Structure formats: C-alpha cells, structure tokens
Amino acid sequence: MKKVVDVSLPVGPVHPCFKEPCRIKCETRGERVVTTEVELGYVKKGIEKIMVGRPWQETIFLAERVCGICSVVHNTVIVEALEKISGITVPRRAELLRLILNELDRIQSHLLANYSYCYTIEHETLGMYLLNLRETAMDSIELMTGTRIMAAYVVPGGVREDLSAENAAAILAGTYHMEKELKRFVKMFETGPMIGLRSKGIGVLSMQDALASGVVGPTARAAGLPRDARKADPLYLEMGWHMITRTESDNFSRIMLRFDELFQSLNLIRNAVAALEPGKIRNGGEMKAGRIKHTIEAPRGDLTYDIEIDAAGQVVSVSIQTPSIPNIEVATHAMMKDLASAADVTSTFISADPCIACAER
C-alpha cells in the first residue's frame, strides 16, 4: 500500500472483533481514516483447484467446506447446478424441505452477523442475546439434518432425510420463540442511543459505488438496490417472499435490514411447513456432461457456481463466486473511505458481514 498520509494503521490479521484472520491497512490523517486496503491470504483453501479432476460426488462435500457458517447454501447451489446439467427433477416435498433448511441457515447467519456487529460496537449484552437466540436456529438445523454444520443434506434429486411431524412441530415452535424474542432485541437495537451514535450515518455506501462494485445481498439491499436471487424462484414467491430494501445505506440500515429479513425467513419457514404434504423426498437420475452457471441467494448475497462436468462425471473446471468477495471489496474501497474515526473501521467492516472463509475459498 502506498503511504500517502500521517500514519499507516494495521488492524489484524488477528483482532478480537474478527471471527477470521484478515488485515485491514488504514491510511490515516489525524483521527480520520482516509483509505483502507484489505489483505487476505491467511487461510486460502484453494477448493476450486482441489475440485478439478475429482468426481462430482466428492465436490458436494468439498463445496460445503468452503464456509462453515453457510455450508447449507454451498451444498444446495452445487447440487442444484448438477441437477440442472443433468435434467434431474426434485419432488415438491424435497423442494420445501430445502427451502426450510436454507431459511434456517439464513436466520443463524444473520443472527451471527448482527451479534458480531453488536460485539464490535461493544454492546455485548445484545450481542450475547442474539448469539443465544441463534442456538434455537442451530437446534432446528440439527433436528432436520442430524448435525449443526456440513450436513450434506441436499443431494441430487432431493434431500437425504425426511422431516417427521414431530420435528416439524418443534421447528415451528422454534420460529415462534425466535419471533417473540427478536421483537424485543430489535427494539433494543433500534432505540439504543449509543447504538445510534455508533451506527447511523457511518459507513455510507453511495449508489454509484454500489453499482460499480457489483455488491450483493443485504449490503446491496440496504443501499436501495433490489438484488436478491430469490425473486426468480417461483417456490419462494409462492411462499410469500417479497423484496426488502432500505435507503439509508449506513451501518445501522445494514443491521436493521438483516433483522427485517429474519422476520420474513420465519414466515417463509412457517408457510413451507404448512405446505408440506406426504410424498417422495428424492427422485432418481443420471449425471450427464455439461456446463452451467447457477446462482442462488445465500445469506450474504448471490452465490454463483460455474461448473463443468465431463462425460466421466469428473469436474473439468469450477468457479465459485461468493457474495463476500464484492461485499468485502466495497467495504474496503467505498464504505471505509474517509471515515471520521479509526474506531469505525472494524464496525463498518463487520456491518457488511464479511466472510473470510468464503472469500478465501
């Protein structure tokens, strides 16, 4: 990084506010942060390269290992891509079960993101409440899949396990519990004067920067950009999904948008459970050669797999475009540009919900 100003301030790679290692290099002038640069490369996995030459069956498990927080969505997107290449259909019950699991995954991811933000601005009480509530979502995921993460629940043609009526009832009860608690926590966040001081008008992302960077997910929607891959999914529309956006585009709006989306996810789960009818959970099929670019909405935004399979069922090439890449990039070059205080660097960065594991796929 070219040094142009008073002091170069390194934040990280190991920092109490970061879940994963990354280094933010800040160029400061007095208390003001003029520019920042994010340096990755501490946990690069090279999963794209590892996948090449391997049979498609192995890629399903490898994809999950891109990210521990949103392993469900990586599992879903690669399986859906393989299904589309081969023309394999999925029974309706399995589609609904996938939707339920993905929304539970979104809930736990959003709660973790908002916990991280509260922790970063030193509102640890609310942070711990949110982290405690996340356990309800994690328990529901465990009820469905048998494990908390990396369940390989989504398989070509359907899902691995059915959901019993007893477990469906427990998941429904969990959604009501989360809704009741969330209302209280959202009020705490929305009306907290110190939270407002640390969050409102800080880390503003302009529309011009948002458009130029290809920012996705809650970070884009909080800037007023209606970008959500679920809008093209008929099942989501049938379950009552609608686009949620905000316009303030600051740290506060990004956290509030995630809270708004949590309520929507809870409703989607309830509607999907109500729509469940007895039936098959898996169809058969044969894997074929081909190439496809498939996108679905991960908790952090558009997750795209561009994958090519040969006739022997081996991966020829794969590109994983995770939402954290544009989100971290825009946080670095736009949101953290010209910040009033060095103390806002970590909170602004965390407000974009950066996943280093996803970026270092």
Partner 1 sequence: MKLAYERDLTPMKLTSLSGVRQNDVTIALANRLGISRQRMRRILIQKCDLMTLENLGPRYDAAEIQARSDEIGDALSLPHLSTAAGILTKERADHYRALAGEKDAVTADILRMILEEIS
Which residues bind to partner 1, rule: CB under 8 A?
A: 1, 3, 8, 10, 23, 37-41, 44, 46, 48, 211-214, 216, 306, 317-319, 321, 325-326, 328-329, 332-333, 359
Task: Closer to partner 1 by CB, 147 or 206: give it.
Answer: 206
Task: Closer to partner 1 by CB, 125 or 319: give it.
Answer: 319
Is 118 annotated as a binding-site member? no
**Type of residue at 188:** M
Residue pair 350/116 in contact by the 8 Å Cβ criterion: yes
Smallest gap from residue 162 Cβ to partner 1 (A): 37
Q: What is the dihedral of CA 222, 224, 229, 231, to 10 degrees?
A: 120
Smallest gap from residue 22 Cβ to partner 1 (A): 10
Burial class (CB in 10 A: 0-12, 13-18, 19+), 219: buried
Please name every residue paired with 29 in a beta bridge, in sequence order, or none if there are none.
32
**Type of residue at 307:** I
Under DSSP, is residue 291 helix (H, G, I), strand (E, B) or coil? strand
Instruction: Tell me how far CA of residue 221 lies from CA of 68, 145, 224, 246, in angstroms.
Output: 24, 30, 5, 6
DSSP string, 97-126: HHHHHHHHHHHHHHHHHHHHHHHHTT-HHH
Smallest gap from residue 93 Cβ to partner 1 (A): 35
Task: Closer to partner 1 by CB, 251 or 327: give it.
Answer: 327
Task: Closer to partner 1 by CB, 48 or 83: give it.
Answer: 48
Smallest gap from residue 303 Cβ to partner 1 (A): 12
* CA-closest candidate to residue 182, choices 246, 274, 265: 265
Is 22 annotated as a binding-site member? no
Give the integer Cα–Cα distance in Å for 332 and 33.
Answer: 11
Task: Closer to partner 1 by CB, 118 or 320: give it.
Answer: 320
* CA-closest candidate to residue 18, choices 358, 356, 255: 356
Smallest gap from residue 337 Cβ to partner 1 (A): 13
Smallest gap from residue 292 Cβ to partner 1 (A): 13
Q: Cis peptide leading into 13, omega within 30 of 0?
A: yes
Please name every residue paired with 55 in a beta bridge, in sequence order, or none if there are none.
314
Task: Closer to partner 1 by CB, 1 or 173: give it.
Answer: 1
Task: Closer to partner 1 by CB, 214 or 313: give it.
Answer: 214
Smallest gap from residue 105 Cβ to partner 1 (A): 23
Placement of tokens 């949103």 in the chain: 70
Residue pair 267/182 in contact by the 8 Å Cβ criterion: no
Q: For 195, phi and psi rounded to 5 degrees?
A: -65, -45
Is 358 annotated as a binding-site member? yes
Give the integer Cα–Cα distance in Å for 69 and 239.
Answer: 25
Number of H helices, E strands in the chain: 14, 8
Task: Closer to partner 1 by CB, 100 or 336: give it.
Answer: 336
Smallest gap from residue 212 Cβ to partner 1 (A): 5
Q: Which residues are annotated as a binding site for Mg(2+)?
A: 48, 320
Q: Which residues are annotated as a binding site?
A: 48, 67, 70, 320, 355, 358
Q: Which residues are annotated as a binding site for Ni(2+)?
A: 67, 70, 355
